[in-house]
Structure 1
Amino acid sequence: MTTPATPPRSLGELRRLTPARVALGRAGASLPTDALLDFTLAHARARDAVHAGFDADAIAGGLEALGLPTLQVASRAADRRDYLARPDLGRQLDPAARELLAGAPKGNDVVLVIGDGLSPVAVAAQALDVARHLLARLAAARIGIGAAVVASGARVALGDEIGAALGARMVVVLIGERPGLSAPASLGAYLTFGPRPGLTDADRNCVSNVHGAGMSADEAAHKIAWLVREGLARQATGVALKDESGDPVPVLPPP
């Protein structure tokens, strides 16, 4: 007996499965007006996310309300133009920040850094919620965060210098990801064991796509907490630490 062939799925079904722009149709040699306007709006939102202001005081106040002593620092990028044109400056602390961290308490197991990155909008929308869930999950694992740092003009690698300056065993960086045309406000988390300047992305683990239509704050916190616990135990992150946090996400009481 011959098994009937599975009928091919329609493009309409594909469009329901993904926010990607597929099967948009055409009007003559161009896109339909609705599709063109939607693309233009998404592009404008992505540009606005990159150039949005970063309210470091509000983020620091939120972290203090969660019980975390918080410092504010800046990179060597003098303004947003500098930040976009010179990525290297966003990876280095400015002299005032180095002096501030030099006088801060040392020897933390974990330092939490929240930086604006390429989407300050994502940080404003997601970072404190992720931090709140993360603190609850780390407390359940008996892991404390010794300090928090809010960094302006930050690239991911700025966390390496911050972690080294504070003598941390591990740094967790929550930062705005490069906006896409379907997700202008996506947050990423980067974890590095033994942070120090000069490390590469091969030395980090990443939990990405934290936003309203992507990974939830609690799911991200679950994965980050697992990576923190295992990274400290194995003394490694990056290619040496595979994310095996599993699914489903365990439910904890509301933090």
Structure 2
Amino acid sequence: MKTPKVSQLFLQLQQEAYLSSSLIASGLTELRRAHVGDRGRYYNAFFHLSIGMERLCKLILILNHLATNHLKPPGIAAIKGFSHDLSNLYRTALSAYGIATTHPTEPLVASFIDFLSTFAKSTRYSNLDALASGNSGVDVLAEWNSLIEVVVAAHVRPRKQKKFETIAALAESALAENSFVLAHDLSGRPMGLGDWFRLPALHDEAAKHAVWIMIQALEPLTDAVGRAGAAAESASRANSASQLQIPDMPEFFYFLYPDRQYVLRKKRWP
């Protein structure tokens, strides 16, 4: 069987899909593993997820333009005009296909997207801005902690929270005379021994549900990129292209299974 030839457009779309899917996968992995004792992973997660989602949204917009303009590219200005406004990009990428921008059973989807959008536009520089200005500025981890507290209240069973508190209290009682903790929680408050044993376990439990919320935010985008890719492929066939023009876009995002139990068990993506 003769191997089909692929166009430069095919290769460019393929490379961008690999890039955005890899960023999203690593972002989900870091989000799942992060906790108060390993907070650098939160920053990794925010950078990778915000950039990966931004690029996926822009990829959808490019594919949609290709599909409706006989494979003519939209121009750099049309895409750069969105800058890093992830919330606007998200809505625009989905609106072309009539896809809902919020999940009907999970209101935190919108909050997570807004958080990442703010991070992409401004707060990713907050630490440097605070150091350079001498002002306290915005604390990204404190803002994230506010979201995590809502996740805990909504999704972590009280019995499990009580278990973490009991174990932490026993550890604190056994070690209090000979140990202390020099650390702060995600909101910047000093931690005691009990906090040191309780919060990592609580964050680990909350992380499962935070990742599930992110998967729900990403699911509409995987739907949209599949539709946009199929439409662009139809346009290329209409042009009687001699080479393959459009890759199979959903195959790059195969790991975003919208299955709750699967996601809650998983610790590494893809």
Structure (1/2) with the larger strand percentage: 1
Rg: which structure is higher?
A: 2
Answer 1 or 2: higher relative contact order, Cα 8 Å, separation at least 6: 2
Q: Say whether the fold is shared (TM-score over 0.5).
A: no
